[in-house]
Structure 1
Amino acid sequence: MTTQSEKSSQTTVQDATATAVAGSVKTSDGVLEAATQLAGEAAGDRTTPEHLMAAATAACLQQSIGIAASTQDVDASDAQVTAHVTLTTAEEAGYTSHITLEVSGLADDVAERVLEQAQQICPFTKALAGSDLTVRLAA
């Protein structure tokens, strides 16, 4: 839990707000607006929360790899993160998501240490730690 004094010493880097209604989601600044559909519906030109989660986690980790690499004087210009989000029925009510992030494009001799630091930087991998999240280097 973050205390009030810890909150006051933190600097906001980004603040985003999105509103979802039946059939769409839109950010308050208008940067993102997408028609949505339920998971499992026939594919079309609409997105699902799983698409959005895959895109968000991949982008977050890829940007964090760039930051980590720059602190280690490593070239990460070819780094690529592929996110795979799977939605399954839960044993109880509802659903469970499984997220796999696969990283490629980093030199073998530095890949593990850059990825380790990037996971400490990325707010999404930190938030998802302890859940069904796998982060790995591509084979």
Structure 2
Amino acid sequence: MGIAAAQIDILNQKIIGFRSISENDGAGTKTYISNLSGCVKHHNEIIRYIENLERVFSMIFLVQFLTSGAVICNIGFQLVHIQPQSIQFANMVFFFIAMMLQLGMYCWYGNEIIVKVGKDKIYNRKYFN
């Protein structure tokens, strides 16, 4: 997802800069249309890349996310029943932090894509079809 976010940034910079390049180039409309066509192709490739990621990793991430959630619940239950001064309590706290960081990574990169593309476009599936 980090690669997809970077590609979206690259595309945004191309879109921002291609008009000034076309105007300064002197070729005019043909260069402008050529640059715009390149941006459209790049955009379609990004969409295809994200769709492939979703197809391959959706079920894997769902299982990992649900498993991590169950483990966090179990750790929370065990932390209530363990003496706070024990080594086992410290180990459980470190494991809890590791599991939260693992879930946080998935959420962080998903949020990056939503922020870069625009929340309204992610939720509108017509955008990807």
Q: TM-score under structure 2 normalisation?
A: 0.29
Larger radius of gyration: 2
Greater fraction of residues in helix: 2
Q: TM-score under structure 1 normalisation?
A: 0.27
Larger RCO (alpha carbons 8 Å, 6+ apart): 2
